[in-house]
Chain A
């Protein structure tokens, strides 16, 4: 018997006797006999921990991706996570706590989240950040829910430069919420908004209540946030910016450009690539929208003795109180990743964050200059300025390039059709989707790795 149950057989017998029961089976007398599972679960019996660990290690060893030099991004980045961050974020007091329902014994998590909210808000250039959502996509969906409620209109204009998976999620959830999502295509790597405020996007589209734009967009290009703000104002719409939080270290903050809501994927702040999760949905907004905020919010207050204390606040918005009229259904969020981000941003500090962003931009520039020398490889978005990610066009299908470069030790990037589907979308044509390769360069990539990458790419596109 291998498990984590403390009861001795003697104790079990005594407890059953205390209850006046003759067997454990009698504990389930309320379950109709006809429904009970005869013969137990159709599963293997339990195994000792070391055997299970060996099995899990064999599964881990069956992966190859982690041994490749990572040039893949698309919202999930291979940034430096120092031992100090792993050690602090892995402290079991943070890891094995529940939601801070009893603030007197949860000041650790509450204060760490308060510090996280402060740093996330400063990054976005907005006064409020929530305690986290599941991931970038869920943050976008919640932002659209907030925006349509605030505007009183269901139509949403979404730039095709917003991450394709996030747009897919928005489409999925819009079937329940009833939003009319209109995709605004890209041209030359950036959104081609309608020339005139009144010009419709797509046949019969109503004026938008919400406008969503990426900064930088998922192809790495810098959008004109002022133009987006003017357009939003012309329609009385809210402006949602899906921002890269690392690039925000050197880019103008979306809040300065007038964003009402800023969302993002916070994985780059100390969270492992982890095959896509758990990640960290960033959500920041203006004070005007704070009562529509989804999810938890930590606020500062005092205890009975007047000492500084923290507590989850504006609770009346939330599902356990407001039920079907709640601003969101979110309950469990990604608090541990928010705490991790607070530690990572604490480690980076003012200068470190700017340095990481700058180094990403330098590496991206270096690759961009080197890669155009490869025969047949072009920049998919032409001369458009990019910060930390760039889209290439390869002469052979990008998926083939990725497979070939994996045998050379590189995770070459993300084939665009893996994100958009084979037909492409408003961001790229089907042909560009098949031949488009999205490449990310983080501060961890050395010049030798970049040079090796270019050489391997040269080989991969030739055969």
Chain B
């Protein structure tokens, strides 16, 4: 068998010293900036800015040479794990390989160089791109239309909840509660509060799914809707989803689909067919746009027919279909919303439209557009058949790990999982004292990124593993072997101490998080 491509133990992390901050590399009078020659008269600051508004001195930044700048950030990059370096089985985060062609697309001057307020006649390619992506995502989700303004999943959630609010208000109904399973991501309840609703938590049953009894007991006409992740955060498909949808719809509530785990069901089942009314997608998970160390993401929201009129506006639309266009909006009368001017004959024409009962704008402009271009590229390379294969391989990989590791770790819900498997270190901890956190830190020493730990909250000592479809069997073998070795070593003499000492091979060892919070140093200037 060939070697594991996803194991990063050969990465040459040089030396044991820390990297100085840019401010410590600074030398007064040194510089790297170069600006173009403009020929514009060099009026002084005094001539340009009224005295009461002028700074007393320049903003103190670092003063470094270009050579030092490059060395500094290159060395910082060497202190950073990434998908490009090795396997990143971080549950719920879908850290799959990010195709390089998408970088090329996102850097095309015809996309990257476009000002967001340029008139529609000059951005026909961008409008066509967004409309094409909308059609693709509607095909994947079984929805009628989508907004691309939300910049991340949580922004999509809040947008969805405001859509829910607007829908109920349009029917002159005041509904105050939104149901959320106890296994949900933290963004769900936080978004519910910001949406002006109250959270009602629905417990999971012994199978790890929504407890139908508890759900029915919680449902009444005060319920605006339910937010579900399916497969849920335990990596399990909510098999009762049709019954859940019926029950929620029966009291007049709406179903919100948190798309964090959509990767598992691409081409297999669509949220729309499960009965969902509102869906957000995480393009930075399912559609392989890189996460940038914490963002940017993109959290488009797709909705069923009855909610299209409430979508944020303005939206890119195809023009020329006249009244009753499938996009269901009126062409805007101003600026970016102005209908496109006539282009060459036969060319597809696109413009902007604001839905009749739009909740309004949720982004400064049109959302994280360059992320959208990457996602469309990824989707076109895969096509409908390839996306289905993505789901199959993701689920195959997760189940392979589940079966392989069942002898070394607890599998709290030991039945076929979807794209991720939630293991637990509860027995290991009872037996050896080694906790989920220690397992995570040991895995770093083994050349892998750690899984998500202590989530979902309903599992004690949770280790949430999502290998994704882009890791090979050889990498899974190596990852499983590492997991097994960690468990076996925990049982040995001195195993607990060794686990506590991990990670020993990384640029820094375990960090003192309590001190960071107790003695807050949020900037270089706050250092003691």
Find out whether the CB atom of B119 lies under 8 angstroms from the CB atom of A351.
no
A135 and B151 in contact, given A43-B139, A111-B19, A335-B295 (Cβ under 8 angstroms): yes
In the assembled complex, A462 has its CB within 8 A of some CB on chain B: no
- A residues near B520, Cβ cutoff 8 Å: 290, 299, 313-314
A319 and B190 in contact, given A135-B364, A418-B338 (Cβ under 8 angstroms): yes
State in angstroms the CA–CA spacing of A103 and B366 once bound together.
Answer: 33
Q: Choose among B152, B273, B379 the residue with the greatest number of A CB atoms under 10 Å from its CB.
A: B152
Distance to closest chain A CB from B426 (angstroms): 21
One digit per residue, 1 when the CB lies within 8 angstroms of any chain B CB and 0 when it does not, for chain A 21-63 equals 0001001111110111100111111111100110111111111
Find out whether the CB atom of B335 lies under 8 angstroms from the CB atom of A37.
no
Find out whether the CB atom of A346 lies under 8 angstroms from the CB atom of B364.
no
State in angstroms the CA–CA spacing of A448 and B516 once bound together.
Answer: 53
Find out whether the CB atom of A303 lies under 8 angstroms from the CB atom of B510.
yes
Distance to closest chain A CB from B363 (angstroms): 6
State in angstroms the CA–CA spacing of A118 and B523 once bound together.
Answer: 5
A72 and B117 in contact, given A53-B105, A366-B40 (Cβ under 8 angstroms): yes
Find out whether the CB atom of B126 lies under 8 angstroms from the CB atom of A337.
no
In the assembled complex, A432 has its CB within 8 A of some CB on chain B: no
- Of all chain B residues, which has the CB nearest A324? B189
Find out whether the CB atom of A27 lies under 8 angstroms from the CB atom of B69.
no
A63 and B196 in contact, given A95-B98, A299-B520, A318-B186 (Cβ under 8 angstroms): no
- Of all chain B residues, which has the CB nearest A419? B335
A387 and B49 in contact, given A65-B122, A75-B364, A275-B123 (Cβ under 8 angstroms): yes
Q: Choose among A27, A55, A448 the residue with the greatest number of B CB atoms under 10 Å from its CB.
A: A27
User: Which of A27, A74, A104, A176 is close to B441, meaning CB atoms less than 8 Å apart?
Assistant: A104
State in angstroms the CA–CA spacing of A37 and B274 once bound together.
Answer: 10
User: Which of B18, B45, B366, B418 is close to A276, meaning CB atoms less than 8 Å apart?
Assistant: B366
User: Which of B56, B195, B295 is close to A278, meaning CB atoms less than 8 Å apart?
Assistant: B295
Find out whether the CB atom of B516 lies under 8 angstroms from the CB atom of A446.
no
- A residues near B341, Cβ cutoff 8 Å: 403
Distance to closest chain A CB from B406 (angstroms): 12
Find out whether the CB atom of A250 lies under 8 angstroms from the CB atom of B45.
yes
Find out whether the CB atom of B363 lies under 8 angstroms from the CB atom of A365.
no
A443 and B38 in contact, given A31-B237, A84-B66 (Cβ under 8 angstroms): yes
CB proximity to A under 8 Å, residues B34-69 = 34-43, 45, 47-50, 52-56, 58-64, 66, 69
In the assembled complex, B318 has its CB within 8 A of some CB on chain A: no
A30 and B80 in contact, given A49-B381, A274-B112 (Cβ under 8 angstroms): no
Find out whether the CB atom of B334 lies under 8 angstroms from the CB atom of A415.
yes
User: Which of A37, A75, A350 is close to B268, meaning CB atoms less than 8 Å apart?
Assistant: A37
State in angstroms the CA–CA spacing of A42 and B83 once bound together.
Answer: 31
In the assembled complex, B241 has its CB within 8 A of some CB on chain A: yes
Find out whether the CB atom of B268 lies under 8 angstroms from the CB atom of A274.
no
In the assembled complex, A177 has its CB within 8 A of some CB on chain B: yes
- Of all chain B residues, which has the CB nearest A2? B381
State in angstroms the CA–CA spacing of A310 and B90 once bound together.
Answer: 20
In the assembled complex, A169 has its CB within 8 A of some CB on chain B: yes
Find out whether the CB atom of B334 lies under 8 angstroms from the CB atom of A422.
yes
Find out whether the CB atom of A109 lies under 8 angstroms from the CB atom of B295.
no
State in angstroms the CA–CA spacing of A273 and B111 once bound together.
Answer: 9
Distance to closest chain A CB from B219 (angstroms): 19
CB proximity to A under 8 Å, residues B60-90 = 60-64, 66, 69-70, 72-74, 76-85, 88, 90
Find out whether the CB atom of B118 lies under 8 angstroms from the CB atom of A41.
no
User: Which of A127, A173, A302, A334 is close to B512, meaning CB atoms less than 8 Å apart?
Assistant: A302
State in angstroms the CA–CA spacing of A185 and B229 once bound together.
Answer: 44
Find out whether the CB atom of B360 lies under 8 angstroms from the CB atom of A168.
yes
* Stretch in A86-94, A231-239, A373-381, A452-460 touching the partner: A86-94
Distance to closest chain A CB from B166 (angstroms): 8
State in angstroms the CA–CA spacing of A115 and B521 once bound together.
Answer: 12
A176 and B389 in contact, given A65-B115, A109-B80, A115-B22 (Cβ under 8 angstroms): no
Distance to closest chain B CB from A30 (angstroms): 4
Q: Choose among A31, A128, A346 the residue with the greatest number of B CB atoms under 10 Å from its CB.
A: A346
Find out whether the CB atom of A129 lies under 8 angstroms from the CB atom of B196.
no
A304 and B510 in contact, given A178-B196, A323-B190 (Cβ under 8 angstroms): yes
A115 and B21 in contact, given A98-B93, A303-B512 (Cβ under 8 angstroms): yes
A134 and B152 in contact, given A323-B189, A343-B73 (Cβ under 8 angstroms): yes
In the assembled complex, B499 has its CB within 8 A of some CB on chain A: no
State in angstroms the CA–CA spacing of A6 and B471 once bound together.
Answer: 7
In the assembled complex, B249 has its CB within 8 A of some CB on chain A: no
The size class of the interface chain A forms with chain B is 35 or more
Distance to closest chain A CB from B119 (angstroms): 6
Find out whether the CB atom of A32 lies under 8 angstroms from the CB atom of B361.
no
Find out whether the CB atom of B395 lies under 8 angstroms from the CB atom of A27.
yes
State in angstroms the CA–CA spacing of A179 and B95 once bound together.
Answer: 38
- A residues near B158, Cβ cutoff 8 Å: 173, 176, 329
- Of all chain B residues, which has the CB nearest A305? B509
State in angstroms the CA–CA spacing of A176 and B54 once bound together.
Answer: 39
Find out whether the CB atom of A100 lies under 8 angstroms from the CB atom of B293.
yes
User: Which of B34, B76, B186, B192 is close to A112, meaning CB atoms less than 8 Å apart?
Assistant: B76
Find out whether the CB atom of B84 lies under 8 angstroms from the CB atom of A36.
no
A93 and B77 in contact, given A276-B364, A334-B295 (Cβ under 8 angstroms): yes
- A residues near B377, Cβ cutoff 8 Å: 52-53, 56
Distance to closest chain B CB from A65 (angstroms): 3
User: Which of A305, A310, A361 is close to B48, meaning CB atoms less than 8 Å apart?
Assistant: A361
User: Which of A109, A310, A325, A329 is close to B187, meaning CB atoms less than 8 Å apart?
Assistant: A329
In the assembled complex, A431 has its CB within 8 A of some CB on chain B: no
Q: Choose among A58, A173, A178, A276 the residue with the greatest number of B CB atoms under 10 Å from its CB.
A: A276
State in angstroms the CA–CA spacing of A123 and B115 once bound together.
Answer: 25
In the assembled complex, A153 has its CB within 8 A of some CB on chain B: no
- B residues near A2, Cβ cutoff 8 Å: 381-382, 386
* Stretch in A11-19, A191-199, A204-212 touching the partner: A11-19
- Of all chain B residues, which has the CB nearest A95? B290
- Of all chain A residues, which has the CB nearest B98? A96
Distance to closest chain B CB from A60 (angstroms): 3
In the assembled complex, A119 has its CB within 8 A of some CB on chain B: yes
- Of all chain A residues, which has the CB nearest B166? A175
In the assembled complex, B199 has its CB within 8 A of some CB on chain A: yes
State in angstroms the CA–CA spacing of A315 and B516 once bound together.
Answer: 10
Find out whether the CB atom of B268 lies under 8 angstroms from the CB atom of A31.
yes
Find out whether the CB atom of B113 lies under 8 angstroms from the CB atom of A272.
yes
A320 and B523 in contact, given A36-B268, A43-B384, A349-B62 (Cβ under 8 angstroms): no
- A residues near B365, Cβ cutoff 8 Å: 76, 135, 165, 275-277, 279
Find out whether the CB atom of B190 lies under 8 angstroms from the CB atom of A406.
no
Distance to closest chain B CB from A27 (angstroms): 5
A88 and B69 in contact, given A32-B242, A346-B61, A385-B53 (Cβ under 8 angstroms): yes
State in angstroms the CA–CA spacing of A28 and B154 once bound together.
Answer: 28
Find out whether the CB atom of A3 lies under 8 angstroms from the CB atom of B390.
yes
Find out whether the CB atom of B84 lies under 8 angstroms from the CB atom of A92.
yes
In the assembled complex, B210 has its CB within 8 A of some CB on chain A: no
State in angstroms the CA–CA spacing of A367 and B393 once bound together.
Answer: 59
State in angstroms the CA–CA spacing of A301 and B78 once bound together.
Answer: 20
Find out whether the CB atom of B38 lies under 8 angstroms from the CB atom of A358.
no
Find out whether the CB atom of B18 lies under 8 angstroms from the CB atom of A308.
yes
- Of all chain A residues, which has the CB nearest B502? A104
- Of all chain B residues, which has the CB nearest A279? B364
State in angstroms the CA–CA spacing of A376 and B506 once bound together.
Answer: 67
One digit per residue, 1 when the CB lies within 8 angstroms of any chain A CB and 0 when it does not, for chain B 236-271 equals 110101100000000000000000000001111110
CB proximity to B under 8 Å, residues A100-129 = 100-109, 111-115, 117-119, 121-123, 127-129
20 more CB-based (< 8 A) A-B contacts, given A27-B416, A134-B295: A4-B96, A18-B404, A19-B400, A28-B395, A72-B118, A95-B84, A95-B292, A111-B19, A169-B361, A176-B197, A300-B527, A307-B508, A313-B522, A320-B455, A322-B190, A332-B284, A348-B33, A363-B40, A411-B115, A447-B40
Nearest 8 Cβ contacts at the A-B interface: A418-B335, A276-B365, A60-B110, A336-B292, A108-B80, A276-B116, A335-B294, A62-B125
Q: Can you list 5 residue pairs at the A/B interface with Cβ under 8 Å?
A: A88-B70, A175-B359, A272-B370, A278-B369, A347-B32
